[in-house]
Every structure is written in C-alpha cells, then in structure tokens.
Amino acid sequence: MMTIAKGKKMLLGGKWMEKEETISVYDPQDNSIITTVPKASKEDMLKAITAAEEGAKIAENMPAHERIAIINKAADYVDEKRNLFAETIASEGSKTIAEAKNEVFRCIHTLRVSAEEARRINGETIAFDQMPGHENRAGYYYRFPIGIIAAITPFNDPLNLVAHKVGPAIASGNAIIVKPATLTPLSALLLAEAFDAAGLPRKILSVVTGSGSEIGDVLITHPSIRMVSFTGGLETGENIARKAGLKKLSMELGSNSPAIVLKDADIDAAVSSCVAGAFGAVGQNCLGVQRVFIEKENFDKFVRKFVLMTSQYKIGDKKDLVTDMGPLITEKEAIRVEQWVNEAIEEGASLLVGGKRDGAFYSPTVLTNVPADAKIAKEEIFGPVVILFQVNDLNEAIEKANNVNYGLQAGIFTKDINLAFTAIKKLEVGGIMINDSSDYRIDAMPFGGVKGSGLGREGVKYTIQEMTEPKIVNFKLG
Ligand code: NAP
C-alpha cells in the first residue's frame, strides 16, 4: 500500500512550505482524496522567482561534474523508491500500475541521459577567414545557461514530462520553477524530493502547486524568466505564448495523430500497434492514435480485427496488473468525450464498439463513417476514441492526414520503401514511425510537433540546446 503523508508541502524558494489554503488531490477512480497540496498565491510565485534569481547564479557556477553527480543521485533516489513513484502516478492520474511503472523507468532514463548530456554542452570553432578581410580572426562559441526557466506541465505524464524539463535545466546550469498540473502535482513534488535528497542547492528548483489560471501569469510574464517551457493543450499554449513576451518558448502541445495502413501492410501487426496506440493511458496521450486511414483493399479485414481486439480490453481497477485501462482523469472529461462521440453519431458516424460511460470510465470506442469536418475528426479528443477511415491510396491518406491543425507524430504500415519515403516527405509532422503507430518515443530523440502541435524540440540533448544560448568569442590576431 502507498503511504503518502497527509498534506504535502511544496518546495518554494529553498523551503518546503505549507499553506493554510490547500488543494485536494483526488484518485479519479473513486474520487477519494489522496492528500492535499498547498495552494500557492501570486505572492508565493513572486517569492519563487526571487529565490530562482539567486538559484540561477548558483547553478551557472556549478561545474559540470557536480551537476552530473546530483542528477545521477536523483536518478538513484527515483530508482530506489520506484514503487512509491509508480503508486503515486497510478493514484493521482489515469494510468494503470503497469503504465505507471513504465513511466518511472522512463523518468530514470531521462535523468541518466540528462547527466550524460551535461558533459557534452559544447560549442564549435568558426572559420572567420571565410570572409575576405577576416584572415586574422579566430574564434568559437560556448553555450551558456539561459537563466531561469518556467516549466508548466500537464496531468497525463505527471513525472516524466517534469523530468524532461528539470533534468536538462539542471544539466545545463539553469534554475527552474515547475508549475505542475493541479490534478496531478504529487509526482512532481516527489521528483523535487529526489533532487533535494541528491543535494541540489535548494534555490535552483522550486515546485509551486496552485492554479495555472491564477498564478500562471505572474510566472510567464515576469522579466526574470528567460524561457517558458510548456507542455499541455493548444489553447493554453497559445494563451501563454501571447502573454510571455520576449522570452524563449518551448511548446509541446497536443495532436490527433494519424496512422496509415497500406494494402501491403502486415495487418495483425498494424492492428495491435494501433489499438495499443489509441487506448494507452486511456487515450490521454499527446501521441495517441486518433485517426487511422486504411487502403480500401484491407479496410474490412482491418476493421474486423480492430474491433475484436478493442472489445477484449479489460477496463477496471488501475492498481490491478491485468487491467488494460482505468478511468479518465475526471468524470467531466469522460462526459466531454461522450458528448463528442454522440455529436459525431448524430452527424452520421457509425459506432462499431464502445461508447459507454460509467462515471469517469469510458469504454474504448471505435467509429467509422465520421464526416471529415466533424469536431472529432479535426480536434484532439484526448480520450479512448479512434476513427477508422477508408482511403483509395496513399495520396488520399496523406492529404486527409494533413488536413488538420496538428502535426506531432504519424505512423505508416507498409513494406514498400518508396511509399514509406513518400509519406516521410509529405506528412506534416515532427516524427514518422514506419511500421509502428505514432505512439513511439524514446527520451533521447528529438520530440515535438509542427503546426498546432508546438514549437521547439524536447529530448534531453535538444532541450539543452533550447535552454542554452551561444556566446561567440572572437580573437583579433596581430
Ligand atoms: P492544460 O489544460 O493545457 O494544462 C497544462 C498546464 O498548464 C497545467 O499545469 C495547467 O495548470 C497550466 N495552465 C492552465 N492555464 C494556465 C495559464 N493561464 N497560465 C499558465 N499555466 C496554465 O493541459 P492538460 O489537460 O493538463 O494536458 C493535456 C494536453 O497536453 C493535451 O492537449 C496533450 O496533447 C498535451 N500534451 C502534449 C505533450 C507533448 O509533449 N507534445 C505531452 C503531454 C501532453 P492547472 O492544472 O492548474 O490548470
């Protein structure tokens, strides 16, 4: 059994702090209260920023070997307490315990890679003599930390997406203030405990719990914040980008990812990969498969197998190892998903399986005959719903896949290398998986989207690029 202390503290400006006003954290499975966290005010956020100004000076002067040692110790801490971390993720969020264990494994990896990359923050020499008249010049650039980073994170990967900002920020000598999702703040606080136990000077990292709409503006508009690293929904991201002003922005936003299944594909492999990609984490996954375009020759067979596999999904207790799918993050979200599906059915869509709600639980749902302009075909559902479309050929699939305002990742199933390369060239996305669904990521690859799916790339090394700035050095020789 997990033992989370009643009333967690937040790490703010070097101190573990309580507040009289608190926010309850619920387990969405039964709406029981797990614990409370402090509800930070705007003044609290200002205190965190003032402390981070000191923290940034400490961080920029820490040698790489110290940063490496601290990050590795934090990774050791997570590893030693991996069960507590997994239970926390599976309690405050939607994930099953198996999915939560995998997230903890990924978080440890993200931290280890961050420690590794701290040794490789390099510049390069520049050939100044390429320009006539500059023959007596020599120089290079270093990469320097940007200063203070504001990290705003979503509910769906409450640990590893925080690690994806904290690990690289500390690796590159920055201070960082994390504002975790209000629904799932406990994993981020545990990660702060890991860095505290590892000996990170306290003013370098704050984890401030509170409502984004109340305290977010103070953080993102403050002139001392040099970068806003946001992961979350498109609407929130656009709102933050408009307000942030002259700061670096990293925006990891949503999607409604496509998969394309061509007539030469291995159908069984495509079905199992797309089913897992659609319903993992209850479909609350930025990489989740939402739209599958199947060449007409395979459509009926694919649909039959897809529906059969979906109907075998086990929905139930998140903590049970045999459960495939738990509840959505809130009942409100489950009602929204139900409404979007019902709206599509009213507009002519056919429900092949699923479509049933019980509180926050919503059964894995497969639709076909969805009109191209239905909301569910255009926007991000962020729930366990997938749409199957029949297409005549690859060109039609690509055109339809691109006809949305998102472009995070895509998958294509084919044995034909030329067709795969056509998709690689033409699909408007940040990543393409050949013979796998969009739902593939390792933590050390460049990850991010185009169009409404975001700006910039994460993936430790790439995050470090975003979190540092080149400073050019030029010698005028005699
Ligand atoms: P969200 O509603 O956009 O919230 C994300 C974060 O923004 C939360 O911490 C939230 O705080 C905060 N926030 C809300 N309003 C704010 C404001 N005015 N100023 C500053 N911060 C504010 O997203 P979500 O529902 O948690 O997460 C789901 C979305 O994240 C989906 O669209 C998903 O695709 C996307 N996502 C993208 C990636 C990626 O890497 N591309 C990964 C995972 C998820 P409160 O919780 O206090 O409201």
**Domain 10-254+453-473 falls under CATH 3.20.20.70:** no
The pLDDT of 311-335, averaged and rounded, is 97
Catalytic residues: 252, 286
**Ligand 1 atom closest to 154 (CA):** 26
Which amino acid is located at 99 in the chain? E
CA angle 208, 177, 107 (to 5 degrees): 95
Q: Are 295 and 327 contacting, i.e. CB atoms less than 8 angstroms apart? A: no
Residue 1 has pLDDT above 80, yes or no: no
pLDDT tens for 13-30 read 889 999 999 999 999 999
pLDDT tens for 287-309 read 999 999 999 999 999 999 999 99
- Top mutation candidate among 26, 107, 156, 242 for ligand 1, by most atoms within 8 Å of CB: 156
- Paired with 454 in beta bridges are 252
Torsions phi, psi of 6, nearest 5? -65, 130
Which amino acid is located at 306 in the chain? F
Residue 87 has pLDDT above 80, yes or no: yes
Residue 449's pLDDT band (cuts 50, 70, 90): very high
- Residue that is written with structure tokens 């930390």 in the block: 145
CA angle 360, 440, 463 (to 5 degrees): 100
List pocket residues of ligand 1, CB cut-off 6 Å: 152-157, 161, 179-183, 211-213, 216, 220, 231-233, 236, 239-240, 252-254, 286, 380, 382, 408, 454
Please give the distance, rounded to the nearest whole angstrom, from the Cα atom of residue 325 to the centre of ligand 1.
Answer: 22
Q: Are 10 and 16 contacting, i.e. CB atoms less than 8 angstroms apart? A: yes
- Top mutation candidate among 219, 228, 236 for ligand 1, by most atoms within 8 Å of CB: 236
pLDDT tens for 204-237 read 999 999 999 999 999 999 999 999 999 999 999 9
Q: Indicate which residue's Cα is closest to atom 12 of ligand 1.
A: 212
Q: Indicate which residue's Cα is closest to atom 34 of ligand 1.
A: 254
Please give the distance, rounded to the nearest whole angstrom, from the Cα atom of residue 236 to the centre of ligand 1.
Answer: 6
What was the pLDDT predicted at 3? 47
Q: Indicate which residue's Cα is closest to atom 37 of ligand 1.
A: 253
Query: Taking all residues of the chain, what is their mean pLDDT, rounded to a whole number?
Result: 97
Residue 201's pLDDT band (cuts 50, 70, 90): very high
**Ligand 1 atom closest to 157 (CA):** 43
Domain ranges within the chain, ordered by starting residue: 10-254+453-473, 257-442
**Ligand 1 atom closest to 211 (CA):** 47
**Ligand 1 atom closest to 217 (CA):** 19
Q: Where are the beta strands (DSSP E) in 356-396?
A: 357-358, 361-362, 365-368, 385-391
Which amino acid is located at 309 in the chain? M
The structure tokens listed for 412 are 């294509």
Nearest to 266 by CA among 291, 292, 301: 301
Which of the 8 DSSP states describes residue 441?
-
Nearest to 158 by CA among 137, 182, 142: 182
Please give the distance, rounded to the nearest whole angstrom, from the Cα atom of residue 266 to the centre of ligand 1.
Answer: 36
- Top mutation candidate among 39, 230, 255, 286 for ligand 1, by most atoms within 8 Å of CB: 286
Residues 6+ apart with CB under 8 A from 246: none
Q: Indicate which residue's Cα is closest to atom 43 of ligand 1.
A: 286
Q: Integer distance in angstroms from the first to the last C-alpha of the chain?
A: 72
Distance (Å, rounded) from C-alpha 283 to C-alpha 439? 10
Q: What is the pTM for the complete model shown?
A: 0.97
**Ligand 1 atom closest to 180 (CA):** 9
Q: Indicate which residue's Cα is closest to atom 30 of ligand 1.
A: 232
Please give the distance, rounded to the nearest whole angstrom, from the Cα atom of residue 154 to the centre of ligand 1.
Answer: 4
**CATH architecture of the region 257-442:** 3-Layer(aba) Sandwich (3.40)
Which amino acid is located at 432 in the chain? I
**Ligand 1 atom closest to 239 (CA):** 18
The pLDDT of 344-371, averaged and rounded, is 98
Q: Indicate which residue's Cα is closest to atom 32 of ligand 1.
A: 233
What was the pLDDT predicted at 31? 95
Number of Cβ atoms within 10 Å of the Cβ of 133: 7
Please give the distance, rounded to the nearest whole angstrom, from the Cα atom of residue 156 to the centre of ligand 1.
Answer: 9
What was the pLDDT predicted at 6? 67
Please give the distance, rounded to the nearest whole angstrom, from the Cα atom of residue 264 to the centre of ligand 1.
Answer: 39
Please give the distance, rounded to the nearest whole angstrom, from the Cα atom of residue 183 to the centre of ligand 1.
Answer: 10
- Top mutation candidate among 37, 152, 207 for ligand 1, by most atoms within 8 Å of CB: 152
Please give the distance, rounded to the nearest whole angstrom, from the Cα atom of residue 223 to the centre of ligand 1.
Answer: 22
Q: Are 123 and 470 contacting, i.e. CB atoms less than 8 angstroms apart? A: yes
What was the pLDDT predicted at 466? 97
Q: Indicate which residue's Cα is closest to atom 35 of ligand 1.
A: 232
Task: Give the H or E element holding residue 313.
Answer: none
Please give the distance, rounded to the nearest whole angstrom, from the Cα atom of residue 297 to the centre of ligand 1.
Answer: 40
